[in-house]
Amino acid sequence: MTPVFAFRDVRCVRGGRMLFEHISFEVPPGGAVSVSGPNGVGKSSLIRIAAGLLRPADGEVTCPPHRALMAEAAALDAARPLGAALHFWATLDPAPAPSSASATARVAKALEAVGLAPIAAVPVRLLSTGQRRRAALARVVASDAPLWLLDEPANGLDVASVAMLERLIATHRAGGGAVAVATHLPIALPDAIPVVLG
Ligand SMILES: Nc1ncnc2c1ncn2[C@@H]1O[C@H](COP(=O)(O)OP(=O)(O)OP(=O)(O)O)[C@@H](O)[C@H]1O
């Protein structure tokens, strides 16, 4: 099966220091990669390479052009109501498949999925830490991207929210989507390809 996402012999150098090398994997539709390792080993760097934000020092990366990144900063306008802040990205993020729902419908569905629909009118700056993380996840869900790149997605989430995250990932994969998750917290990712750095 043609992989959705692949690294071939990838090497990463930052600030003149080699973080990792010879990283190879192929993720088929519905597949997952789990990136783990101690602090500072390069987990976020690997996710940034996959997102196209950092160039590998060597090797080859195959990614769909439409991918969604959840990193530390949610990049949601603090002054806007949550729904409007998400709508901004849903219209701006690269257009998903032609069969996809409208930006408004995708945002409404994503807010329901992360349990934030009741506070869609609340400005982003008033959200709690966990709500901000769920809002960042809503942005990923609303993107309809075939590849999700999640950097420490469980940070700041309570037990119920981690279970919700796991369900959302499972649903995405069941629909043929792929995911890469960098985490130091346990997240259920059945049959994920392990990439252990360090
Ligand atoms: N812009 C940069 N320039 C140079 N070095 C950097 C830069 N950004 C990160 N680094 C270094 O790259 C290394 C790996 O960082 P990275 O954030 O990828 O690690 P990580 O495994 O995700 O860490 P953590 O578990 O603490 O989040 C660190 O030593 C960091 O200082």
Residue 73 has a pLDDT of: 81
Express each pLDDT in 70-102 by its tens digit: 998 878 899 999 999 999 988 876 666 666 788
Question: How many CB atoms are located within 10 Å of the residue 98 CB?
Answer: 5
40 touches ligand 1 (CB under 6 Å): yes
In the chain, where the domains are located: 5-65, 68-183
CA of 71 to the centre of ligand 1 (A): 13
**Bridging pattern class, strands 5-14 and 58-62:** antiparallel
Residue 97 has a pLDDT of: 66
18 touches ligand 1 (CB under 6 Å): no
CA of 40 to the centre of ligand 1 (A): 5
71 touches ligand 1 (CB under 6 Å): no
With a cut of 70, list the residues of the chain below it in pLDDT: 93-99
CA of 53 to the centre of ligand 1 (A): 14
Express each pLDDT in 101-112 by its tens digit: 888 999 999 999
CA 125, 69, 66, 178 torsion-angle sign: negative
CA of 21 to the centre of ligand 1 (A): 15
pTM over 0.90? The answer is yes
CATH for the 68-183 domain, from 1.10.3720.10, 3.30.110.30, 3.40.50.300, 3.20.20.140: 3.40.50.300
Three-class secondary structure assignment of the chain: CCCCEEEEEEEEEECCEEEEEEEEEEECCCCEEEEECCCCCCHHHHHHHHHCCCCCCEEEEECCCCEEEECCCCCCCCCCEHHHHHHHHHHHCCCCCCCCCCHHHHHHHHHHHCCCHHHCCCEHHHCCHHHHHHHHHHHHHHHCCCEEEEECCCCCCCHHHHHHHHHHHHHHHHCCCEEEEECCCCCCCCCCEEEECC
Give nearest CA residue, ligand 1 atom 8: 14
